[in-house]
Structure 1
């Protein structure tokens, strides 16, 4: 059964059929069991040279993470330094039902968790491989479930708010190779297979998998089950540009069909669950977040600024320098 366009069937869609996969995963898991994330209680973000790589809304503030962690008030732009890990943070995630519960992926591997909006962090990596976590997402319908994409390995899930982890899926198989996941979003749209979707951005574009983790597939219009069975669904009329990496990807909590993606070519938006896309602006964003109650309110971190849009990414205003 072939996938439409560039996605091909993985040798084992359940996660165990690639040569060396079992040996690789056993090694990563064994070394990961000895990993403890070091935390430095007094370290705060600097005002310049911040190199932000992740953002998320937390209450009335935007939490910005990179070389440090900062909380920026949306109304005033006032920034406050928060306690940070001793390593730069590569990914960040939370859920509107628990705005102060943050999950972060420090450089070098592991996951740190904060239950007070980023002031105190602790390691939350039990069972996770000792490899870089490249993307994080909290399940849209289950705020106690967290997904982590691990470089060179695949998707892991923590169903107890990230305290323990288990492997669920190999990396996406695109253009005859497994691709690392750069961005991850849990999208509360029915998959037709008894669950909802987990969307992933890679160096080779966008893909998705239902949370039953049967197989990765293209994002297509119409019924997903029909597309899966036929294996020949036509490509969408306005897909994301081919050949560009998806650097950031977010779904609106109150309007899950509304997606935003950051590509080198700019900020792109979809209003139909990712089947078709429109370029909203030329903004070069490193990270994106959507306000929980307003699908048109977006925060974006560029190389130098934290910016906000109130109209779905068409116009932007600078909230703070980074």
Structure 2
């Protein structure tokens, strides 16, 4: 597979080189009774029914019965991606640059960045309908795709152009809804709001009712009645494949929910969201770092409670 776009992208010539410096790391499990006070969770994801919570230099696995494992890491994880059809397989972006893959639930890791430019991964997600397809957004660059579980990569799209400037993609989610142009949607959060692109990668566009062809035929579609608030970066997006119409967005103003695939939004709960993940089986069950506290909701974000495995609040 080629790791270059089919037509010239000048930015490729500036951001060259690979991320092969990430070395496979052996992780030995150390069972722990609790995530202790002072642990700052940076990223969340689900591996089957287990919650994966990443802090600096560690990954915590929390089972459905609240048993917990502490897995030390040599690199600090900033993003986690997983697919419900491949339990045990996790992908993670790490500081300062790099992408790694685990086949055993986070106990051991190997490099998954061959062919990517040596720059920071700002967002990461797996395709909703393709367990081996992965998308990564890179700082000052654009969107890359792997169709073989991180063995090779190809450039597919520049960064979205919103409000007069190119914007970094801060979060990605693959939405298993038809676009009307073939394929499904990829939604992106930026510091200028929400946008999306069909996975044919023709162009970034606003989130509107109906499919992409409807929007093109209409010329200009009316704005949603209840959009996300303007002026707030959209840093976290999440959904369960069991309910692709139900999206969650984490903003500084709180947790926002949409039941129509991101057209209209309602704030479910106040409090700054610093990480977010949705149970792949239960769309109403989510985990979040809310006001710096790792907590869970069983009612779609209307109410939250701290995980009872915690020893005190997080900072």
TM-score by length of 2: 0.90
Match of 1:25 in 2: 12
Q: Secondary structure at the match of 1:128?
A: coil
Return the match for 2:22 from 33, 37, 53. 37
CA distance in 2, matches of 1:183, 1:152: 15
Quick check: 2:271–2:291 contact (8 Å CA) kept in 1? no
1:70 matches 2:60: yes
- Please, which moves more after superposition, 250-259 or 223-232? 223-232
Deviation readout 1:74-117 (Å, 9 max, x if unpaired): 332x3211242x23211110000012100000011121000000
The aligned runs of 1:1-322 (5 Å cut-off) are 21-22=9-10, 24-29=11-16, 31-32=17-18, 35-42=20-27, 47-67=36-56, 68-76=58-66, 78-84=67-73, 86-302=74-290, 304-319=292-307, 320-321=309-310, 322=314
CA distance in 1, matches of 2:29, 2:249: 29
CA distance in 2, matches of 1:163, 1:301: 31
Q: How many residues align?
A: 301
CA distance in 2, matches of 1:117, 1:83: 13
Q: Secondary structure at the match of 2:220?
A: coil
Q: Secondary structure at the match of 1:181?
A: coil
CA distance in 1, matches of 2:36, 2:240: 30
Quick check: 2:175–2:186 contact (8 Å CA) kept in 1? yes
TM-score by length of 1: 0.88
Quick check: 2:274–2:292 contact (8 Å CA) kept in 1? no
CA distance in 1, matches of 2:276, 2:146: 23
CA distance in 2, matches of 1:276, 1:42: 43
Quick check: 2:49–2:279 contact (8 Å CA) kept in 1? no
Q: CA deviation at 1:162?
A: 1.0
CA, structure 1 residues 188+38, in 2 after alignment: closer, same or farther (shift >3 Å)?
same
Gapped regions of structure 1 (runs ≥ 5): 1-13
Q: CA deviation at 1:163?
A: 1.0
Q: Secondary structure at the match of 1:313?
A: coil
Q: CA deviation at 1:296?
A: 0.6
Q: Secondary structure at the match of 1:168?
A: strand
Q: CA deviation at 1:38?
A: 3.6
Quick check: 1:41–1:83 contact (8 Å CA) kept in 2? no
What RMSD in Å do the two structures reach over aligned CA positions?
A: 2.0
CA distance in 1, matches of 2:36, 2:251: 26
Quick check: 1:37–1:110 contact (8 Å CA) kept in 2? yes
